[in-house]
Amino acid sequence: MTKNNEEQKEARPWDFFKKNVGRTPIEIAKERYSICKNCPQFVPLTTQCKECGCIMKAKVKLPHASCPLGKWDAVDITFSDSKKVEEDIDK
Ligand code: SF4
């Protein structure tokens, strides 16, 4: 993979506003969030990751996002496969 492709894979907060970026299926988002909640890098008060600084409650919903420590990975789903995750991640 070229450096340019790697950069495109990295999730950014503004990806939420891109029309061609879908949402992780809720089951996978919950699984990712569960891993984060049990990680020493997780800050429960803000739901932030000390490693990447991201708000994990949001980041887990982006299909191309991944854990900087390799604890969970991106999922390869197309926009048409993904459904918008409007449910609260804590439910
Ligand atoms: S993204 Fe990775 S390092 Fe950060 S809180 Fe989640 S599991 Fe831990």
4-39 tens-digit pLDDT: 444 446 888 888 888 888 888 899 999 999 999 999
| Cα separations in angstroms, 80 against 6, 11, 62 | 22, 19, 14
Which one-letter amino acid corresponds to residue 76?
D
- Ligand 1, atom nearest to 36 Cα: 6
Distance 69 CA to ligand 1 centre (A): 7
- pLDDT confidence tier of residue 45, bands split at 50, 70 and 90: very high
What are 48's two structure tokens? 């932030």
Comparing CA positions, the residue from 64, 63, 36 lying closest to residue 50 is: 36
Distance 24 CA to ligand 1 centre (A): 17
Q: Who's near 23: CB < 8 A, 6+ residues apart?
A: 29, 61, 62, 63, 82, 83, 84, 85
